[in-house]
Structure 1
Amino acid sequence: MTTHTQRSEQDWLDKLRSTLTSDFEMQTARLTQLTADTGDPGEAHTRGALIATTRQSLEHITGALRRIAEGRYGICERCAAPIPRERLEVLPHARFCVPCQQKQPR
């Protein structure tokens, strides 16, 4: 890999880390707001679903940030092949390449 390519890749990771950190902060604020909201009891089910979705988003973001910090980001957890950058741009928390993701139980 050339120095230019390495620098480009590092710049992309730095930008992604910044974006994920910002997303983490927004989702944390949202979770705080949702869990503090004692609004209409009739909306409890909807609020519960929003809380669950927000927690899942936080788990995805935290996992991606951890993999970046550990130098494992963009490597399939099943086959250890590189995950294509196009996939990571669409799904930054992807842990598996497409073939391995298709083999994962749902």
Structure 2
Amino acid sequence: MLVHDTVATGRSQADTDQIRASLRARYEELSAEYEQAVLQSQVLRLVEVGDTAGDDQADSGTKTAERDTAQSLLRTILDRRAQFERAMGRLDEGTYGFCEGCSAPIPVERLEIFPSATACVTCKQSRERRAA
């Protein structure tokens, strides 16, 4: 598996190990961030349940907006964590660092900024134009 990685990508075992450690560290940071956000969301719900007496429409609207924001944050963290999990899988498969669209190598500078990138800049721009 990793032998294939080093042959197919031209990466040394040390480089692959360093990338894996970096991806794993960011995944674990996101997992901790998610757990913290879940706790904050639970506290928000408990406060909301216990503090509804005398709420007017503005109070209810504010609480709904806060709840929606907390849920959005949870979804965002889970999405980002899934991206890093996928990147680790691609590293194991030997496809990390190559564009899923055109199979060209993704520039190292892009991977340094966005380690879970699965597309080169050209393919990413094409996808965004089609989505717009």
Q: TM-score range by the shorter chain?
A: 0.7 to 0.9
Q: Distance in 1 between matches of 2:83 and 2:11?
A: 25
Q: Distance in 1 between matches of 2:11 and 2:77?
A: 34
Q: Distance in 2 between matches of 1:33 and 1:79?
A: 38
RMSD: 1.8
Structure 1: runs of 5 or more not aligned: none
Give the structure with the larger helix fraction. 2
Residue in structure 1 matching 2:107, options 80, 84, 102 = 84
Residue identity in the other structure for 2:82: E
Identify the residue that residue 17 of structure 1 maps to in structure 2: 20
Identify the residue that residue 93 of structure 2 maps to in structure 1: 70
Q: Which moved more, 1:55-64 or 1:35-44?
A: 35-44
Q: Identity of paired residues, percent?
A: 34
| TM superposition score normalised by structure 2 | 0.67
1:39 aligns with 2:39: no
Residue in structure 1 matching 2:29, options 22, 26, 29 = 26
| TM superposition score normalised by structure 1 | 0.81
Larger Rg: 2
- Residue by residue, what CA displacement relative to the aligned partner does 1:2-43 show, whole Å, maximum 9, x if unpaired? xxx743xx4333222112111111211222232243223423
Aligned length: 100
Shift of residue 45, structure 1, vs aligned partner: 1.9
Q: Distance in 2 between matches of 1:86 and 1:30?
A: 26
Q: Distance in 2 between matches of 1:97 and 1:90?
A: 13
Structure 2: runs of 5 or more not aligned: 1-9, 49-62
Q: Distance in 1 between matches of 2:94 and 2:87?
A: 10
